[in-house]
Structure 1
Amino acid sequence: MLTSFFNKIISQFISDREDKADMDSKTKTLLLNITNFLFFITVLAQGIISLIHENLILAAPLLILAIAFSINYYFSSRDEQDLRFQNVFLLILGLTFCFFIITGGSTGLDGYWSIFFPLLTITISGRKRGSYWALALFAFIIVYFILPIQPTGWMNTYTLEQKLFLSSSFILAFFVGYTFQFIRSEVFLEKDRQILESENQNRAQESLINKLSYQIRTPLNNITGILEMLENSVMSDQQRDYINTIHASTNNLVDVVNNLVFSSKTFSHDPENITSFNLYTTLNNTIRLFSAKPAHSRTRFNLSLSADIPTSITGNSIKIKQIFLNLINSILKNNDQSSKFITIEVSRLDSMPGKVELQFRIVTNMVVPTDKTRSDEGFYNHNDLVRINHSRIIDLLDLGITLKIVESEGRTFSILCDEEKTVFEFSSSFTEGQQSNSESRDQHKENTLQTHDKPGIDLKNANILLAEDNISNQQIIILYIKNAVKKIDVAFNGKEALEKFGHTKYDLVLMDIQMPIMDGLKATQKIREIEQSTNSHTPIIAVTANAFPEDKERCLATGMDDYISKPFQPDELLQLIKKHLS
């Protein structure tokens, strides 16, 4: 009970503005505010005692107090406390201690308060600057003690023993403060080193998963394609049962790879991801990914958007889809109820012209176990317990990436739990009436096509160039489209594809991304440069195992017309080819 009481008192010295600051900033702010408070109490007591004894000279600290706290209030009310504030505050504090040393204060022993000055300066300003401030006050003490000054009625008299005690105590306090700050700095350096190592490990893990995804997707694409063809052939019932079993297992493996890649990737503020999209369609398509699965047939989905949300908004649709994929997947995985429901409510928070501030609320009948009784409640205050419990729920539901995505925009991700339901809430900003980067590219391509006035080409009469370095992949793609396409040329790398494009007229190019000598992105850029001089345009479709959202955006940014990631079904590729030929 007593510990909790003191925790509440100490927590009052950290403002809400510092709640999300790093530990070093919190420590400095806490020490500064506590120092201010103790300084206020000490000087106020000195002033009151001096006024009672009608000693106007000793009442001067009241004036110093007013100046110090005026400056403190001005700078602490701003968003950041800069170096000027620290210097002014330490100067006033040092002058106050000088005043106490000279006068002795109301008790005659108040000069001994100065031994705390090195601890405060080194802690607040760091070892280097703090040491300068402490040594400046120590120099004043030595000079004052050495100079043959005759004490007057308002000046304090020190014996030799008192001078030695104050000087040695000041030196000891200086070394204690310096040692404390040295150890503290080493701790923070070690923490920063661990964070850097963790970030490097995360990047290495993402790179490894990216490579594994690329290597797994290529054979998966071949397997799913062959299975699709086998299912359309004549087989016995037993053979068809075997094929269906293999196909189902392969689809499960595809889902595993997709979830692995998706969950390992953190959201990036790539401006290429900013597009104009329909929010209802985006959320509805995300829901359909789950509602279409038999395992979730007993789950009831509800989607509600307020009427004041524009039909088309501009923002990062990939981010929103990633958040809801993670959330819905986590809810379905952790909800033990026999009959489940997930309600998604979206409302607009403001009506500012051109800006769309949306509040997302996801309600489900999932019950999340929370630790309401803790043996260390006395150590934590209420806000600490809320944050700890929130972190445990995030970890339990595996929503760490979702939390990072929301917080990357400077927003708060809230989870409210009770005995009947769980509510997830977050907000996000969008704009309306603006053209996105991808729309600009699409508009440019549309204008280019209109300028060329290129007539549609029948699939069976098309001449297609396939740029692919892997022979097995070449054979599979050719197997997919050979019955529908008249002529297919093959290039083993981007350089060869560029050479063939310069000698032969192709109606469409299927371009792999990772190839030796010249990759697909560079080859596409070169092709577009050639077309600028000939005033022509040939559709280029990226066919790749790179499955991250930014991979698609990078392909489109280099001039490709479309993108399909492995594994895919033969019909998907044929439909995509037909789309760009027509």
Structure 2
Amino acid sequence: MVTNLLNRLIGLFISEQDEKADMDTKVKSLLLNIASLSFTLIVLAEGIWALVLDHAELAIPFLSLSFLLAISHLYLRKFTGLIHQNLLLSILFLACVFFVLLGGNTELGIVWVLFFPFFTTAIRGRRTGYRWTAILALFMLAHFFFIQNLSPFFQQYSTESSIFYLILFVFSIIIAFAFQFIRSEVLLEKERIILDSQNKNKAQEDLLSKLSHQIRTPLSNITGIIDMLESTSMNNEQKDYINTIHASANNLVSVVNNLVLTSKSNPSDSQEITNFSLYNTLNNVLRLFPYEESKVRFNLSLAPDIPTQLTGNNIKIKQILLNLINSIIRENKAEQKHITLEVVKVDSMPDRVELIFRIISDFIYSSKKDNHSEEGFFNYQDLVKLNAGKIINYLDLGITQKMIEVDGHSLNITPQPDQTIFEFGATFSTASSNFANIVASDKSRNSNTTFKPIVDMKDAHILLVEDNFSNQQIINLYIRNKVKKIDFAFNGKEALEKFGMAKYDLILMDVQMPIIDGFKATIKIRELEKSTNTRVPIIAVTANAFPEDKERCLASGMDDYISKPFQPEELIDKIKQHLSS
């Protein structure tokens, strides 16, 4: 009962806006509100007691200051941005100045000043807190030995009490800084453990995804051939053999499906959407690389038009940045390393903001001797010769690339003579809506404003985009007797060329292809369709079977998704559905 009462009491100091925020924002909101309310009550009590004692010279400034604190408390319950934090600290600093100058109704009023270092370090961190407390300490020193003699209204302190209060204030600074240091290190270590654990889960998921893809592609061909054999004339013994093979293949499909579902059942893989401060999130990531260990000088730059609070998966952003910076540091063998993290806004809608994260580093050095250079590291000329995919594989960023691509973005690496730039995009909400809702609404809006005629399947002209010749032949055998004409493309580049020369009623699109993959090809097709106000249905036919694979297909502009291996009837039903809807 007591615990519930305390939880409710603490909950009163967190605004409704911060209830779904990340932990760092919640802590700052709680500390801001507790600090403003506690100092308001303290200053108000001093002012009222001064009125009772008929000390107008104390009552007027303290009551005025309590009014300012009350206004700031009511205002700051809704906002926790940097400006509001500085505003509150300025008012708290002014309150401490009053306590030092006027002493309160007794000389012990200065004791409240000892709490100031705890609030400054908790709200703004050790570095900024040090500046605030240093200024207050200098003011106290000046008052004790110079200012107090300038006016009879100022509180007089003896030399012994002045030295005593200065020592107490120094001790409070040390304790506050030690407490904040321990708290920060514990939280950072906890966050590092969580991110490492999630990265291991992602690595396991990536391995299962590759295995699933490698198994599904030949398995799809096997089941396809079996389906076609069943439609041929066979004796009873042959039919029994085929049925046995078919049942075994279906069991193998079930095993692969269960493997995928099991890999996604881990609770740590959940994508939690929260309100968070982008600056705090990025700052916490950089703090995971102390200079003593990494020998890296960081520079953080945020564009001024980026909203203070965003809604999205900040844990995922931390994972991506942590993986990128770890890889850069691991492969850079320079004595002194410099990394700049820039964030700019490239697109904005009423409820959505798209950001570009840019990590700028000096040369990436190899940790082993290789054929790329005699010195044993990648120089600018070496990097220019390699494509982004090879650099990503070399830096072991395959999982990171997948995490970025799930949301429809890409990881770009640009080598330059004096630096290497890693760049990726991310989309966040600025209100309660999320990116999935926006994609769904965009898709609904497009379907209402574009023209797509109803076509009978027997009259349909279909483009099959598939880089594997065997897969092409299997799908062709499935549908060749059901449609009028089928054209083939081996990659996204060929698909775009054929799309520009012919009119298709539907496109079957593979995802993983050379030159241009299925996602980029679909995005380009949707861009071309805007000029003609038409929309050709695109069905993803892929061996990628994870839930996020389907989400990424739909986010890129595809209309449906079918995972290999599949039954011929399933594919035919989907084709009929999209040709007639």
Task: Tell me by how many angstroms 1:163 deviates.
Answer: 1.3
CA pair 166-14 structure 1, distance change in 2 beyond 3 A:
same
Cα displacement (A) at 1:153: 6.4
Task: Verify the 8 A CA contact 2:542 2:564 in the aligned structure 1.
Answer: yes
Q: Does 1:127 align with 2:126?
A: yes
User: Is structure 2 residue 550 aligned with structure 1 residue 549?
Assistant: yes
Please give the residue correspondences for 1:328-347 in structure 2 after superposition, counting only pairs within 5 Å: none
Pick aligned residue for 1:246 from 221, 245, 248: 248
Contact 1:465-1:491 within 8 A present in 2 as well: yes
Deviation at 1:166, TM superposition (A): 0.9
Aligned equivalent of 1:235: 236
Determine the C-alpha separation between the residues in 2 that align with 1:457 and 1:202: 43
Q: What displacement does 1:165 show? A: 0.6
Say yes or no: does 1:80 pair with 2:82: no
Render the CA deviation track for 1:177-236: whole Å, top value 9, x for unaligned: 223333333344445545554565565455444433322221221232233345444324
Residue 144 of structure 1 corresponds to which residue in structure 2? Answer: 143
Relative to structure 1, the CA distance from residue 437 to residue 545 in structure 2 (aligned partners, 3 Å threshold; closer, same or farther) is: farther
2:163 aligns with: 164
8 Å contact 2:465–2:510 — kept in the other structure? Answer: yes
Aligned with residue 439 of structure 1, among 412, 436, 447: 447
Task: Pick closer, same or farther for the CA change 1:9–1:511 going to 2, 3 Å.
Answer: closer
TM-superposed deviation, 1:539 = 9.6
1:50 matches 2:50? yes
Please give the alpha-carbon distance, in whole angstroms, between the structure 2 residues aligned to 1:85 and 1:526.
44
> Could you tell me whether the CA contact under 8 Å between 1:458 and 1:581 is conserved in 2?
no
Q: Greater CA radius of gyration, 1 or 2?
A: 1
Write the distance in 1 (CA, Å) between the matches of 2:45 and 2:535. 85
| Native 8 Å contact 2:462 2:505 kept in 1 | yes
Structure 1, residues 388-413: CA drift from partner, whole Å, max 9, x if none? xxxxxxxxxxxxxxxxxxx999489x
Task: Report the alpha carbon displacement of residue 164 of structure 1 after superposing the two structures with TM.
Answer: 1.0
Deviations along 1:338-371, whole A, 9 cap, x unmatched? xxxxxxxxxxxxxxxxxxxxxxxxxxxxxxxxxx
Q: Could you tell me which amino acid in structure 2 is paired with residue 30 of structure 1?
A: L
Cross-structure match for 2:568: 570
Give the aligned partner of residue 306 of structure 1. Answer: none
Cα 1:253/1:169, change in 2 over 3 Å: same
CA distance in 2, matches of 1:467, 1:554: 19
The amino acid of 1:54's aligned partner reads: D
Other-structure match for 1:473 = 471
CA distance in 1, matches of 2:264, 2:146: 75
Provide the rounded CA distance (Å) in 2 between the counterparts of 1:520 and 1:432: 20
Structural RMSD (CA): 5.4
Deviation per CA, 1:254-281: give whole Å up to 9, x if none.
6436746886997899xxxxxxxxxxxx
**Structure 2 counterpart of 1:215:** 214
Relative to structure 1, the CA distance from residue 206 to residue 241 in structure 2 (aligned partners, 3 Å threshold; closer, same or farther) is closer
Q: CA deviation at 1:464?
A: 8.6
**Cα distance change, pair 568–52 in 1 and its aligned pair in 2 (3 A):** closer
Question: For the residues of structure 1 that align with 2:101 and 2:504, how far apart are their CA atoms?
Answer: 94
Q: Which residue of 1 aligns with 2:185?
A: 186
TM-score by length of 2: 0.54
Greater relative contact order (Cα < 8 A, sep 6+): 1
Aligned counterparts of 2:261 and 2:129: Cα–Cα separation in 1: 52
AA partner of residue 436 (structure 1): S
**1:173 Cα offset (Å):** 1.6
Residue 146 of structure 1 deviates from its aligned partner by 1.8
Change (3 A) 1:476 1:257: farther
* Mapped contact 1:224–1:250 kept (Cα < 8 A): no
Q: Equivalents in 2 of 1:464, 1:257: separation in Å?
A: 33
Q: In the alignment, is the contact (CA less than 8 A) between 2:550 and 2:561 conserved in 1? A: no
User: Is residue 464–residue 507 contact of structure 1 (8 Å, CA) maintained in 2?
Assistant: yes
Aligned to 1:178, the other structure's residue is in SS state helix
Q: CA offsets, 1:456-510, max 9 Å, x none?
A: 8968xx9998665445435544654678899989776677889999999999986
Q: CA deviation at 1:35?
A: 2.9
Alignment of 1:417-566 (within 5 A): 436=444, 439=447, 443-446=450-453, 468-470=466-468, 472-474=470-472, 476-477=474-475, 480=478, 512-516=510-514, 543-547=541-545, 548-550=549-551, 552-553=553-554, 564-566=562-564
Query: One-letter code of the match for 1:58?
Result: L
Q: Is the 8 A contact 1:101 1:156 kept in 2?
A: yes
Q: Deviations over 1:407-465 (max 9, x none)?
A: 999489xxxxxxxxxxxxxxx98999997255268x4453xx9xxxx9x8968xx9998
Deviations 1:69-127 (A, max 9, x none): 332244225x3134444444333333333333344332332223322222222222332
Three-state SS of the structure 2 residue aligned to 1:436 is helix
Gap regions ≥5 residues in structure 2: 274-428
Mapped partners of 1:150, 1:503: distance in 2: 92
Code of the residue aligned with 1:252 in structure 2: it is S
8 Å CA contact retained: 1:64, 1:96: no
Q: For this pair of structures, how many residues does the alignment match?
A: 416
Shift in alpha-carbon separation, 1:545–1:60, aligned structure 2, 3 A = same
Greater Cα offset, 563-572 or 252-261: 252-261
* Structure 2 counterparts to residues 52-451 of structure 1, below 5 A: 52-60=52-60, 62-77=62-77, 79-147=78-146, 150=149, 155-194=154-193, 196-197=195-196, 200-201=199-200, 204-232=203-231, 233-236=234-237, 239=241, 242-243=244-245, 245-246=247-248, 248-250=250-252, 252-253=254-255, 255-256=257-258, 259=261, 410=432, 436=444, 439=447, 443-446=450-453
Distance 2:58 2:81 in 1: 31
Write the distance in 2 (CA, Å) between the matches of 1:258 and 1:229.
28
Q: 1:266 to 1:487 in 2, by over 3 A?
A: same
Local SS of the residue matching 2:35 = helix
Distance 2:442 2:520 in 1: 30
Structure 2 residue identity aligned to 1:256:
N
Q: Cα distance, 1:19 vs. partner? A: 2.4
Contact 1:494 1:522 (8 Å CA) reproduced: yes
Deviation sequence 1:118-174 (CA, Å, 0-9, x none): 222222233233223222222222112222855876544432221111111112222
Is this contact kept in 2: 1:61–1:96, CA < 8 A?
no
Q: 1:250 to 1:234 in 2, by over 3 A?
A: farther
What is residue 302 of structure 1 aligned with on the other side?
Answer: none
TM-score under structure 1 length normalisation: 0.54
